[in-house]
Structure 1
Amino acid sequence: MGYHRNNWRQVADMAAPFIPGGEALMGAVDMVQGISDSVSLDRLQYVRGGHPVVELPWQPPGPPPNPQRAEAVGRQAWDVLFADEQQYSARSLLDQVGNLLMPLPPTELDMVVRRFGTQGLDRWDRLTHVEDEHGEAAYDWRRQQELFSRLLRTVSPYGAMLIGTGMSCSQPDFDAACSGCHCDDHGWVLPEGPFAQVDGAYVTEKWQWVPGSTEAMSWQDMDQGHFGDCWLLTSMQAVLQANPQHAPRHLRQEANGTVTVTLYDEGSPVAITLVPDLPYGHGKLWGAKGHTEDARYAESWPGYFEKAAAQFHGNYHDIVHGGPPSTALTLITGRVGQKVDLNSPWLVQEIANRKSRGQALVATTAAAPNADPGDAAQIAGGRLVQNHAYFIKDADPAGGRVCLGNPWGDGSTRKLWECWLTLQEVGYYLVQIDAVDTW
């Protein structure tokens, strides 16, 4: 298996030659494991170039459905959807549909969504993009997101996936932007790995010791993946290290399998409910994940956090182009970030003091001389990467050093996994440090 956490296979392979019969035993394990892993891989719900839509077990909350009422409301909402938006305005039609559907109990709401099918949902989606006389979309983002979040966390798993397939506005799109002859081998997968789980201490495949975490969602889980959004992901690492209780209050898996992530827009919380599929390509999870790229075993909460941020910004392309960590820290916490003075002779002491007060801190590295800003050029003797964001993992005031943690997670080498910098190196390799309160 590709499951990195306990890394039993790597240790066993190295020990096998020194144990009588060890190599034969590992050969037998290979045979059995190969069969079980191939069967598990075939079971993954993956759609190349599209979204999976499958029936899954669901125990609906609330009273049993009234089919007659669901049919009557569904027919009325259908007529409203297909009314002339030039005559009645798209905003008015969308408001009417929302007012008709929201009072329905979950089972009846699910019946209406299924009745709409792809034709009705596509029409609904197109109405959200109709522009008014000022060139603005007819339905503002916050109202739109509130409505779709209510729908997605209420209907059945099948209904949620139907919405995710039929309504492009309900979830972000992504462009893999990879090179090679299999660039079209990308789509979406329903991961089988856990949403989150408490970690024990383990050794990564790069022989890095990771301490155990008592929190189901912890900074140790973050592995960046193939999107260039270090500014976003390492900001979440910083927040979770500073305040381990942040994630349980802002990420939850709903009863129907969808995931709700709470972000902040100008200080106000915005709950974004997501269809539970994640970007997938070349046999692995393409975006953020926990500890492994294998969709059968990786914790999925980092991918859903990343997906919520992509939905907030518009799509994955917009978060790949990035932003300053200060923007990410505000998006995650709702608080305005603070700049740390890199020229202060007491910088290490100040960082230690801020961390003791529960602040999250994120550092950005400088560009290497004569290097392409888009390249992951190594600096500091191969310990750092240019134009990259790191969370400040630790501070040593007595030694005058700070430690940077890399959002590349288990996939990075030991040399790139974390980096201690002296005060002089901080001034030379870093261009800014952003801090924010997390409690």
Structure 2
Amino acid sequence: MGFRGFDSAKVRSLGRDLKTLGDSAGKLHSDLSGVLTQAQGLLGGKPATTSPALEPLVGNPFTFWPFGGGTLPGSLAGELSDLSDSITRRCDQLDRCNELVDKGYAIDPAVVFADEKAPDEKKIVDALSAIAALDGKGFGDNGNRDDLDEVKDKLDGLTAAELDAFLAKVPAEDLRRYGDLAGKTDDSGMWWWESHDGIPEGQFRDHLSHLLKEAGPSHWATLQAAFPGVQPGFDTTDAWLQGYNSQLGQGVKGMHYGTPGDPLFASPGKVDASSISQGQFADCWYIASLTATAQADPKFIAEGIKQNDNGTVDVRIWDKDGNQHWVTVTPDLPMDENGNVISAHGAGETWPAYYEKAFALMYGGDEGGTPDNHEGDKRYDRAEKGDYGATEWDNTDKAPPYVTGHDSKSIDNNLDSIKKSFSSHHPVIVATGSVDPKDVPAEWKSSFVSRHVFYVKGFTRDGKVILGNPWGGGAPDVEATPEQYEKYFNSPQELQVSR
């Protein structure tokens, strides 16, 4: 059963009519110019129109957009022609998708009406053949990279509808095999051909993002099952393994992925650093860097995230080697049993959560999380790279390169140095050491915690530094004198924002 209910013959006829109307728009433009010019002459010098769009037409039948100031109706020639062409392409897309569905392919309704080149079944069949050919193939002395690149190029060359049709037909084992082979890039052998296995990590990351951005929502699960790099797990986090956040002391039950109801931004395109809350994962070192950067340069952070037509989200992030990527993630986020987002979030907005999700996929270390052999529990003894668990409990200087594209700069551990960096519009983060709770000043009790990272929000008139807690959600700021700062805080980092 295809996508019925649309009479493409009638819709195509409408497109042709629009093009005909567009072709005659120039004559209408000249006629309107003549009417306005004559009217102005009869009005004894009074203007015939006060419309900024029509004023340029008075006395000049040849002035029309984009060559002059007028926008109507001369511009209709191009606009109606473009609309007609778009209608024709969409009808071609719909008709060809219906043909494919009738042949047993499954195409998500979200991409059936896309304004793109109509799907070509031969490209789908060629991609299926190429990925099937990897089964049991002897790749020879030159490794398997050429064969994998062939599959990657064929998949990257598919339109959204073609990719959906491919994903509906490809056997799950073929797709998993491709992902497994692509991820094995061991270049440590003694023979030169051993460096030609797999697909380099950065290239494969961009490839996965491309597939996720193009695929219809009904096929995301297929990609997630075949490629672990598409969706970060959370079963290596403290919140999952212990059932609570050890810093906040809050319980977390019923963790699952769900789709939030809040938009990307509470105000379109506007980033408010003060609304960010860390959530239940122990990645303050990352959220503090993100928040400090959002405070210093909100436009930079806002420009680094965007929503795609199919609902996925693109996040700009740098990898461990300093290479910029746009990482595509699905819109679902970790939630608790009540449907509350437990990862990072804002006040009525979700953009911090998608930054965090992309970071979980990209983080190049595996030194975070609760230490191995924790209380003899084997669940802690797992590789966590690419999961939320890998982002927990790491060092202050590790996160900034992923946020800004540059390594952070260590500065002297005193308020004079910190104020100098902050006054130069650099984001600044600082850490706390291991402090006995009994020694914490009373006024900090509800916000200060050991092994935590804060961000600099400013300075008071009497010389105290104002430190923001990435917990958010009403966590009080910490105001510290120079003496208090040097006693309780360390490892200040100046972040370098990339442009």
TM above 0.5: yes
Mapped to 1, the partners of 2:434 and 2:330 lie a distance apart of: 37
Q: 1:300 corresponds to which residue?
A: 350
TM-score, structure 2 as length reference: 0.63
Among 286, 289, 302, the residue aligned to 2:342? 286
Distance of aligned partners of 1:132 and 1:393 in 2 relative to their CA distance in 1, 3 Å threshold: closer
Mapped to 2, the partners of 1:358 and 1:85 lie a distance apart of: 57
Q: 1:72 corresponds to which residue?
A: 125
Distance of aligned partners of 1:279 and 1:118 in 2 relative to their CA distance in 1, 3 Å threshold: farther
Gaps of 5+ in 1: 1-53, 199-213, 292-297, 372-376
Superposition pairs of residues 170-189 of structure 1, within 5 angstroms: 170-175=230-235, 176-179=240-243, 185-189=254-258
CA deviations 1:318-363 (Å, max 9, x no partner) are 1013222x221122111231222124xxx24x43442332200001
Q: 1:331 corresponds to which residue?
A: 402
Indicate yes or no: 2:332 matched with 1:277: yes
How far apart are residue 69 of structure 1 and its match? Answer: 2.1
Distance of aligned partners of 1:113 and 1:132 in 2 relative to their CA distance in 1, 3 Å threshold: same
Among 344, 359, 362, the residue aligned to 1:312? 362
Secondary structure of the structure 1 residue equivalent to 2:427: strand
Among 198, 202, 226, the residue aligned to 1:138? 198
Contact 2:212 2:328 in 1 (8 A): yes
Distance of aligned partners of 1:323 and 1:432 in 2 relative to their CA distance in 1, 3 Å threshold: closer
Contact 2:253 2:337 in 1 (8 A): no
Q: 1:93 corresponds to which residue?
A: 147
Among 462, 472, 475, the residue aligned to 1:399? 462
CA deviations 1:127-152 (Å, max 9, x no partner) are 23446574797333111101111111
Distance of aligned partners of 1:157 and 1:393 in 2 relative to their CA distance in 1, 3 Å threshold: same
Indicate yes or no: 2:262 matched with 1:193: yes
Distance of aligned partners of 1:275 and 1:81 in 2 relative to their CA distance in 1, 3 Å threshold: farther
Distance of aligned partners of 1:231 and 1:61 in 2 relative to their CA distance in 1, 3 Å threshold: farther
Distance of aligned partners of 1:128 and 1:255 in 2 relative to their CA distance in 1, 3 Å threshold: same
Contact 1:335 1:437 in 2 (8 A): yes
Mapped to 1, the partners of 2:187 and 2:298 lie a distance apart of: 47
Contact 2:278 2:343 in 1 (8 A): yes
Q: 1:104 corresponds to which residue?
A: 158
Q: 1:408 corresponds to which residue?
A: 471
Larger radius of gyration: 2
Provide the aligned length of Structure 1 versus Structure 2: 347
CA deviations 1:264-310 (Å, max 9, x no partner) are 2333312211122222232232311123xxxxxx4221111111111
| Equivalent position amino acid for 1:305 in 2 | Y
| Equivalent position amino acid for 1:186 in 2 | M
How far apart are residue 426 of structure 1 and its match? Answer: 0.6
Superposition pairs of residues 220-299 of structure 1, within 5 angstroms: 220-265=274-319, 266-283=321-338, 284-291=340-347, 298-299=348-349
Secondary structure of the structure 2 residue equivalent to 1:99: helix
Contact 1:378 1:384 in 2 (8 A): no
Q: 1:420 corresponds to which residue?
A: 479
Contact 1:145 1:272 in 2 (8 A): yes
Secondary structure of the structure 2 residue equivalent to 1:331: helix
Distance of aligned partners of 1:124 and 1:74 in 2 relative to their CA distance in 1, 3 Å threshold: same
Q: 2:421 corresponds to which residue?
A: 354
How far apart are residue 117 of structure 1 and its match? Answer: 5.4
Bigger mean CA deviation after superposition, 278-287 or 300-309: 278-287
Identity %: 24
Mapped to 1, the partners of 2:259 and 2:133 lie a distance apart of: 33
Question: Which structure has more strand as a fraction of its residues?
Answer: 1
Mapped to 1, the partners of 2:349 and 2:252 lie a distance apart of: 25
| Equivalent position amino acid for 1:320 in 2 | E
Gaps of 5+ in 2: 1-106, 190-194, 245-250, 364-385
Contact 1:160 1:258 in 2 (8 A): no
TM-score, structure 1 as length reference: 0.72
Contact 1:161 1:275 in 2 (8 A): no
Q: 1:385 corresponds to which residue?
A: 449
Distance of aligned partners of 1:130 and 1:368 in 2 relative to their CA distance in 1, 3 Å threshold: same
Mapped to 2, the partners of 1:317 and 1:95 lie a distance apart of: 31
| Equivalent position amino acid for 2:170 in 1 | F
How far apart are residue 55 of structure 1 and its match? Answer: 6.2
Q: 2:54 corresponds to which residue?
A: none
Contact 2:131 2:175 in 1 (8 A): no
Contact 2:124 2:158 in 1 (8 A): no
Contact 2:131 2:178 in 1 (8 A): no
| Equivalent position amino acid for 1:361 in 2 | V
| Equivalent position amino acid for 1:105 in 2 | T
Mapped to 1, the partners of 2:301 and 2:387 lie a distance apart of: 22
How far apart are residue 229 of structure 1 and its match? Answer: 0.1
| Equivalent position amino acid for 1:337 in 2 | S
How far apart are residue 166 of structure 1 and its match? Answer: 3.1
Secondary structure of the structure 1 residue equivalent to 2:266: coil
Question: Highest relative contact order (Cα 8 Å, sep 6+), 1 or 2?
Answer: 1
Contact 1:235 1:362 in 2 (8 A): yes
Superposition pairs of residues 122-161 of structure 1, within 5 angstroms: 122-130=176-184, 132=186, 134=188, 138-161=198-221
